[in-house]
Chain A
Amino acid sequence: MRPVAIAGVAEAGVGSAPPGSTPAGLMAEAARAALAEAGLELSDVDGVLAATTQLPMAPLNLSEALGLQPRFLDGTQIGGSSAIAHLRHAAAAIEAGLCSVALIAYGSTQRLVGRATASVQELDPGEAPYRPLMPVTAYALAASRHMHEFGTTREQLAEVAVAARAWARLNPDAWSRDPLTVADVLAAPMVCDPLGLRDCCLVTDGAAAIVVTSAERAAGLRRAPVALLGAGEATTHRHVSHMPDLTRTAAVQSGAEAFARAGLRPDDVDVAQVYDAFTITPVLFLEDLGFCAKGEGGAFVSGGRIAPGGALPMNTNGGGLSYAHPGMYGAFLIVEAVRQLRGECGERQVPGAEVALVHGNGGVLSSQATALLGPAT
Chain B
Amino acid sequence: MPGTVYATTVVRRRGEAPLNVVLVDLDGGGRVMSRVEGIAPEEVAVGLAVTEVEGSDPLVFRPA
- Provide the main secondary structure of the chain B interface: strand
User: Would B7 and A193 count as touching, CB distance under 8 A?
Assistant: no
Binary contact readout A121-157 vs B (1 if CB under 8 angstroms, 0 otherwise): 0001011011111000100111011011000000000
| Bound Cα distance from A140 to B12, whole angstroms | 12
| Bound Cα distance from A241 to B23, whole angstroms | 7
Chain A nearest CB from B46 CB (Å) reads 4
| Bound Cα distance from A142 to B22, whole angstroms | 11
B10 at the interface (CB under 8 A from A): yes
User: Would A131 and B12 count as touching, CB distance under 8 A?
Assistant: no
User: Would B12 and A141 count as touching, CB distance under 8 A?
Assistant: no
User: Would A137 and B58 count as touching, CB distance under 8 A?
Assistant: no
Chain A residues touching B, range: 20 to 34
How many residues of chain B have a CB within 8 Å of chain A? Answer: 22
- CB contact between A191 and one of B6, B12, B31, B47 (< 8 Å): that residue: B12
User: Would B58 and A131 count as touching, CB distance under 8 A?
Assistant: no
Given A141-B23, A241-B23, A126:B33 Cβ within 8 A: yes
Which residues on the A side are within 8 Å of B53 (C-beta)?
none
**Which residues in chain B, 31-63, are within 8 Å of chain A measured between CB atoms?**
31-35, 42, 45-47, 58
Chain A nearest CB from B59 CB (Å) reads 9
- CB contact between B9 and one of A127, A129, A140, A148 (< 8 Å): that residue: A140
User: Would A192 and B33 count as touching, CB distance under 8 A?
Assistant: no
User: Would B46 and A130 count as touching, CB distance under 8 A?
Assistant: no
The residue on A at minimum CB distance from B30 is: A241
| Bound Cα distance from A178 to B27, whole angstroms | 49
- CB contact between A133 and one of B13, B23, B46 (< 8 Å): that residue: B13
The residue on A at minimum CB distance from B59 is: A129
Chain B nearest CB from A45 CB (Å) reads 44
- CB contact between A193 and one of B23, B32, B33, B42 (< 8 Å): that residue: B42
18 contacts between A and B (CB under 8 A): A126-B33, A131-B11, A131-B19, A132-B11, A133-B13, A144-B9, A144-B46, A145-B7, A148-B7, A148-B46, A148-B47, A190-B10, A190-B12, A191-B12, A192-B9, A192-B11, A192-B21, A246-B7
Q: Knowing that A130-B21, A193-B10, A241-B32 are A-B contacts, what are 5 other residue pairs whose CB atoms are under 8 Å apart, sorted by A's residue number?
A: A124-B33, A127-B33, A137-B21, A192-B12, A240-B23
Nearest 9 Cβ contacts at the A-B interface: A148-B46, A129-B58, A140-B9, A141-B7, A193-B10, A145-B7, A127-B33, A241-B33, A192-B9
